[in-house]
Amino acid sequence: MTSHQLHTADTAADAAKEPLRVLEGAFGFVPAAAGLMANSPALINTFFAAFGHFRGGGTFGPDERQVLLLSNAVANRSEWAVAFHTLESLQDGVAPAVVEAIRRGERPADERMAALSAFTRSLIERKGHVEAAEVAAFKAAGFTEEQVFEVITGVAISAMTNYTANLAWPPLEDAVVPHAWKTGYSAGA
């Protein structure tokens, strides 16, 4: 459990209230990582603006966005974020088998989702120093040059939430509890 202030729209500084209000309206609750990011108006507002562009102006579909974000959460070993994005992935139409494979750190059977997950994880693990063959494999799965760079947006957004959650250990929201995850997860464990 965190020792850092977990803000709501009522307790956050004025400069951090609006993103929390919008998130609460979208989810029915303020996601814990966002409540923690509100300790820094600069962080919550940067995250909120970047996520708005990623979701509203990006080219990935909702299921692809969630595969990207869940892959980031697993790569960053962020227990809160894996649980949260498991819920979101299932709600956004990602096949349960794809979600389980990613949670286990395995390659999903769905080739397109496997390519997205693998490229995302490689960007994180290799700190952007991916091989030309990895870019070619990503594009061969039907992704565009624009999406090569758009993955970077998802990685950056995830760094904000995953690092916040890794630093502060927020509690899981009731809706997320059934999707709890621990580093080293494997099916049936």
Is the pLDDT at 189 greater than 50? The verdict is no
| Per-residue model confidence (pLDDT) at position 183 | 81
Name which of 26-30, 172-176, 181-185 the model is least confident about: 181-185
| Phi-psi category of residue 5: left, alpha or beta, with phi > 0 → left and psi -120 to 50 → alpha | beta
Output the pTM of the full model.
0.93
CA pseudo-torsion sign 125, 82, 5, 50: positive
Is the pLDDT at 85 greater than 80? The verdict is yes
Q: What value does the mean pLDDT take over residues 53-80?
A: 96
Is the pLDDT at 188 greater than 60? The verdict is no
